[in-house]
């Protein structure tokens, strides 16, 4: 992670808006500001939020030191392409919807950027002519627009001022307070001005990119920096983690998943990973789902040990806030195993000693709270805890802790006497036996691994 010597104690860059893969942000403490590019069309409004990660055109690329990062996504630009896209259900699904456009129906947008010396330097490009809106805003809290013109903008949030500089085909910007007003303005309807965010209408085409810089220190000219970005791309492609043979492309997939999942928690002022980017929306931070975040820490460890260490400490910190019994959902016994495996890859003994007491608390939670019938076997959802009063809650926790969120043996079961009983027709509780075996395996593995 790049930092700069200044009065900003810690400066981070990345794709910090949950569904803002079309942009990049800067974060200093709890103040996070950035940009994202959105498609605009009268028939569908803003191509924003969940629609962006559902339109990815290629795996994300992200060097661990942020010397080169890239994202590509599709934007329908013809009536036929817009109709094809809008005909696909997308609002209530988790998996990406792949839309097969005919040639010329959609443009492929690309953002490339790097973080050097406290400044983000980047370029937007497109394979077809397209007119879009570049939004500058506070990522998680409304900002105050101080200046906006075709050369860029300045926005204030808390102690930080964002300086955006642009070089390309840029029209006079709109300063607004509501995204619905942007849609009205784009359609030529009367709209109300505001002070919360800026929307620059920009035209991008082959041979006509949009260059930009972002800084919390001073305006930095965007002209002439693209050769350095190209050089960084070549260096990363030549040195990045790769795999061959039976595991061809596996390492590249792990690297891309890490780049996709890297996010920021403005409350805890820490980098984190997010399990998905389609469940939240614009102006939202990453998601926290217990074992998913541990899985992502383990994934990140192979190419970016520093990120993995911060992610591991972040999710463990979340569990300390309300206690193990009221931590994030997906409180699963695979977590200690993932913790130990991640530490083995990172090789950070100080981190292990600092965080191991919490994992001990995690392990100690299960027998007092998850052996509802006293038979010496752990059951998901079973609890004697004074706050677990409702059978429905016991069942929900059983689904979460099993990892089978909607598995029928739990969603069709019921709670009785602080126990999560099996559903009708399930004759042998393999789950409890496997959980108990996993508990003791974790105990042995952890005892051997922690320095």
- The residue ranges of every structural domain in the chain are 11-239, 288-449
Q: For residue 107, give the nearest of 91, 123, 89, 125 by alpha carbon.
A: 125
Structure tokens at 219: 């305006």
Give me the helix-helix angle, 349-370 and 430-449, nearest 10°.
150
| pLDDT computed for residue 309 by the predictor | 96
- Rounded Cα gap, residues 388 and 415, in angstroms: 11
423: which DSSP letter?
A: P
| pLDDT computed for residue 417 by the predictor | 44
| pLDDT computed for residue 416 by the predictor | 44
| pLDDT computed for residue 315 by the predictor | 93
**Burial readout 303-341 (b: 16 or more C-beta within 10 A, e: otherwise):** bbbebbbbbbbbbbebbeeeebbebbbbbbbebbbbbbb
Cross-strand pairs, 136 = 35, 198
Residues 6+ apart with CB under 8 A from 94: 276, 278, 279
27: left (phi over 0), alpha (psi -120 to 50) or beta: beta
Cross-strand pairs, 102 = none
| pLDDT computed for residue 451 by the predictor | 66
The strand ranges marked E within 256-378 are 262-265, 270-273
Q: For residue 134, give the nearest of 120, 142, 123 by alpha carbon.
A: 123
Instruction: Let me know: does 328 contact 319? Beta carbons within 8 Å.
Output: yes
Instruction: Let me know: does 165 contact 220? Beta carbons within 8 Å.
Output: yes
56: which DSSP letter?
A: B
- Rounded Cα gap, residues 180 and 123, in angstroms: 27
- Rounded Cα gap, residues 256 and 258, in angstroms: 5
| pLDDT computed for residue 429 by the predictor | 58
Instruction: Let me know: does 301 contact 346? Beta carbons within 8 Å.
Output: yes
pTM of the model: 0.89
Query: What are 85-109's pLDDT values in tens digits?
Result: 888 766 555 555 678 899 999 999 9
| pLDDT computed for residue 413 by the predictor | 42
| pLDDT computed for residue 436 by the predictor | 79
Structure tokens at 404: 């089978």
Which residues in the chain land under pLDDT 50? 1-8, 386, 388-389, 407-428
Class of domain 11-239: mainly beta
Structure tokens at 303: 């190419």
- Rounded to 10 degrees, the C-alpha dihedral 373/376/377/381 comes to 40
* Total residue count of the chain as it appears in this document: 451
Backbone angles phi, psi at 199, to 5 degrees: -125, 110
């Amino acid at each position: 992670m790049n930092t700069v010597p200044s009065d900003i104690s810690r400066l981070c860059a990345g794709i910090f808006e949950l569904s803002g893969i079309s942009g990049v942000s800067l974060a200093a403490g709890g103040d996070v500001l950035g940009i994202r590019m959105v498609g605009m069309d009268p028939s569908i409004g803003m191509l924003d939020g969940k629609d962006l990660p559902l339109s990815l055109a290629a795996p994300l690329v992200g060097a661990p030191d942020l010397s080169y990062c890239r994202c590509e996504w599709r934007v329908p630009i013809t009536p036929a392409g817009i109709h094809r896209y809008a005909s696909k259900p997308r609002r209530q699904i988790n998996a990406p919807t792949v839309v097969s456009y005919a040639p010329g129906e959609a443009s492929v947008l690309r953002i490339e950027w790097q973080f050097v010396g406290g400044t983000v330097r980047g370029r937007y490009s497109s394979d077809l002519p397209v007119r879009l809106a570049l939004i500058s805003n506070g990522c998680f809290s409304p900002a105050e627009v101080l200046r906006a013109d075709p050369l860029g903008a300045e926005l204030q949030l808390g102690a930080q001022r964002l300086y955006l500089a642009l070089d390309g085909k840029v029209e006079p910007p709109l300063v607004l307070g509501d995204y619905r007003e942007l849609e009205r303005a784009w359609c030529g309807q009367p709209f109300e001005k505001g002070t919360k965010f800026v929307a620059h209408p920009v035209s991008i085409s082959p041979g006509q990119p949009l260059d930009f810089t972002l800084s919390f220190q001073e305006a930095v000219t965007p002209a002439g920096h693209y050769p350095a970005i190209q050089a960084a791309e070549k260096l990363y492609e030549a040195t990045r983690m790769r795999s061959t043979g039976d595991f061809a492309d596996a390492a590249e997939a792990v690297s891309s998943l890490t780049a996709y999942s890297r996010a920021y928690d403005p409350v805890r002022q820490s980098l984190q990973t997010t399990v998905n980017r389609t469940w939240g929306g614009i102006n939202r931070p990453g998601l926290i789902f217990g074992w998913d975040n541990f899985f992502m820490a383990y994934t990140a460890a192979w190419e970016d040990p520093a990120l993995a260490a911060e992610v591991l400490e972040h999710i463990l910190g979340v569990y300390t806030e309300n206690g193990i019994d009221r931590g994030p959902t997906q409180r699963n016994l695979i977590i200690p195993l993932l913790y130990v495996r991640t530490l083995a890859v990172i090789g950070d003994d100080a981190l292990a000693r600092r965080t191991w007491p919490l994992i001990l608390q995690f392990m100690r939670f299960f027998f007092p709270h998850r052996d509802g019938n006293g038979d010496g076997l752990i059951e998901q959802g079973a609890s004697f805890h004074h706050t677990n009063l409702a059978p429905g809650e016991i069942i929900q926790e059983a689904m979460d802790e099993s990892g089978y969120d909607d598995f029928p043996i739990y969603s069709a079961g019921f709670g009785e006497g602080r126990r999560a009983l099996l559903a009708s027709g399930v004759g042998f509780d393999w789950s409890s036996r496997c959980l108990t075996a996993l508990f003791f395996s974790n105990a042995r593995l952890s005892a051997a691994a922690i320095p």
